[in-house]
Structure 1
């Protein structure tokens, strides 16, 4: 099982990469296939919505056919196949289709790991193990920064995607050969997602799940590239370094969050405090539009670090889920987390388009200040609702 978990972690590295690499490719895709920021926002949002839409069937599959087949088959067909479609793209529509397929392929890998953790490890270790998997997997964020920019310069973006298609297929085959499904739950097995939706304890958690990951994923996955290009005039290599800084901060934040729930004796207030720090950083980006470039770079790193509460949020909700519904429980929570990114990415594309079209010389900062305000308002609302949740410690 150890080798299987390593390969699932490698698959999650790919998942993190695919949700973040468009920021680095924004320049070359605009030149080669005519894909502007709004087109890439649509493609990125499609990745997240496809990923989210798959969470409910993935949850059923984890509980009924196990993580091995669920992760291997989808990653092979969607991840490998989608990356190949991307490599052959000749229009923005092809990019969107490719990102949809890749989102389907990446949808089971993290939840397959969480399912194994929930079924085979003590509950008190779930948040730490979940954060460890997320933190190591977030190396994909680093690969999707400067290393990707370098690979594009050396071999071109199409050959880079062909290589990623081959890697995705190889990892999928490895998962099929090495992962072992946990033993079935003994006893009563009846239940569905509707049983989870009837639990009031989860109602105050769903809204924060919907908005907490969205600012981090949307900015790191797309808007950080156009923002530093349009507002600060950075080139592809420099943007790669900036995204590297934010990606590293996200990894450090994930590892920091992991054990803190046990150290502090609370999950609720740890998540709430970190989310409010992200709100403050987003507001600072709005209030300091003319600051030197190192200021927004630092604030992006702050957003990445404090916005890495995802595994603790999953642990908070998972503590209320009965054992026979663990697969559907963690995927339902993930549905809200990833689906929120997709919805907000679609909305962000419309906001950006509305403020860049129709004027002869649009203000380059205005669309991004509006985006930061949109993300801050949504997260603040989620934090207010989250105040009514019940804390959970295993």
Structure 2
């Protein structure tokens, strides 16, 4: 079981890499394929939307087929094919197709691990385990920063992505070989198998979903795309400098993911920890809007703060999962994840519209509006979440 979880974690490392690597490749993709920041915002958004839409069939598959077949087939076939298409891309729409396939391939790996955790470990340590796997998985976020910039400069971006395609396919094969499905839950007499509608009938879930929808979007959207064009346009940064900033933000996101995990047991509240952290993240984004050209390193510090404070996803997932009965675990966690990742996809696409509608001068003006947009959405999510029911198992 542990070896199988290890390969699911490796799959999640790749998932984190693919959702974040466009920021570093922005300059070269613009030159070779004519894919500007607006086109790459669509590609990035399509990855998240594909990932999110796959959560519903993935939830059914986890409860019906188990994590082994679900994760292995999607990662190996869809994810591998998408990476090959990306490496061979000639025009921007090829990137769109590639990112849709990669998003579908990455969709089951984290939820597969969460499904196993929910089946074989105590509910009270779910948040810690969920945070730990995200912390380890965020190594992919780190690899998609300066190391990717170095590899692209040294070997070429096409060769680098093709090597990643091979790794993705091999990871899918390893999941098929080593992931073990946990025991099936035995339902009581007269108890139905359940469906997604049964999860949606849980009242406590509805006040958690809005914050899930907006919580991860700023950190993922900025790290995965907008940090690159922002530093290139405002500070004239090259790929290596952008890679350094994104590397720092990636480490900050690791700290946030791991740090949030045990805080519910330390403070005796999940809701309180999540609410304070996300409110502070929203205020950091508003500060970036207020001072959009504060300087190369002051801006990097604020981006890093957003990365740390905005990585409360594991704790929000644990909060929502605590209301879901065991026989609905697969559908429950994937529904929650769909709102989180779907929110990133929707807000990423909308952020492109914000960028296009903003004043073109000064140079930092379009980015300031993106920061304000993300900040206000997070604060709005916090306002709804404030009325949710706390639960700490």
Whether these two folds match at TM > 0.5 is yes
Whole-Å separation in 2 of the counterparts to 1:161 and 1:202:
39
The aligned length equals: 390
Query: Are residue 368 (structure 1) and residue 367 (structure 2) matched?
Result: yes
Question: For residue 241 of structure 2, what is the aligned residue in structure 1?
Answer: 238
Asked if 1:80 corresponds to 2:80, the answer is yes
Indicate the residue corresponding to 1:38 in structure 2: 38
CA distance in 2, matches of 1:225, 1:91: 20
Deviation at 1:369, TM superposition (A): 0.5
Cα deviation code 1:336-368 (max 9, x no counterpart):
000000000110111112236xx6xx3211110
- SS for the counterpart of 1:363 is coil
Helix, strand or coil for the counterpart of 1:185?
coil
Distance in 1 between residues matched to 2:293 and 2:16, nearest whole Å: 31
SS at match of 1:266: coil
Within the alignment, does 1:199 sit opposite 2:198 as a pair?
no
Rounded to whole Å, the distance in 1 between the matches of 2:43 and 2:59 is: 25
2:296 match: 293
The answer as to whether partners of 2:293 and 2:364 remain within 8 angstroms in 1 is no
Equivalent residue, structure 1, for 2:253:
250
What corresponds to 1:136 in structure 2? 136
For 1:92-103, list aligned pairs within 5 A.
92-103=92-103
Q: Counterpart in 1 of 2:282?
A: 279
Distance 1:55 1:73 in 2: 15
What is aligned with 1:57?
A: 57
Cα distance in 1 between the residues matched to 2:94 and 2:19: 16
Distance 2:292 2:392 in 1: 41
Q: Secondary structure at the match of 1:19?
A: helix
Q: Do the aligned partners of 1:83 and 1:161 also contact (CA within 8 Å) in 2?
A: yes
- Cα deviation for residue 232 of structure 1 reads 1.3
1:293-351 per-residue CA deviation (whole Å, 9 max, x = no partner) reads 11100000000001110000000000000100000000000000000000001101111
Work out the CA distance in 2 between the residues paired with 1:282 and 1:289: 10
Checking the alignment, whether the CA contact within 8 Å between 1:189 and 1:324 is kept in structure 2 is no
TM-score, with length taken from structure 1? 0.98
Query: CA separation in 2, counterparts of 1:199 and 1:171?
Result: 36
2:384: which partner in 1? Answer: 385
| Map of 1:23 onto structure 2 | 23
Give the whole-Å Cα distance in 2 for the aligned partners of 1:340 and 1:27: 26
CA deviation after TM superposition for structure 1 residue 189, in Å: 4.6
Superposed CA RMSD in Å reads: 0.9
**In 2, Cα distance between the equivalents of 1:93 and 1:253?**
34
Determine the C-alpha separation between the residues in 1 that align with 2:213 and 2:18. 20
Superposition map of 1:3-14 within 5 A: 3-14=3-14
Gaps of 5+ in 1: none
Partner of 1:346: 349
TM-score with structure 2 setting the length: 0.98
Structure 1 segments, 4+ long, off by >6 Å, are none
Q: Any gaps of 5 or more consecutive residues in structure 2?
A: none
1:292 Cα offset (Å): 2.2
Aligned equivalents of 2:85, 2:291: Cα separation in 1: 41
Distance 1:267 1:66 in 2: 29
Matching residue of 1:322: 325
CA distance in 2, matches of 1:33, 1:294: 30
Compute the displacement of 1:77 (Å): 1.1
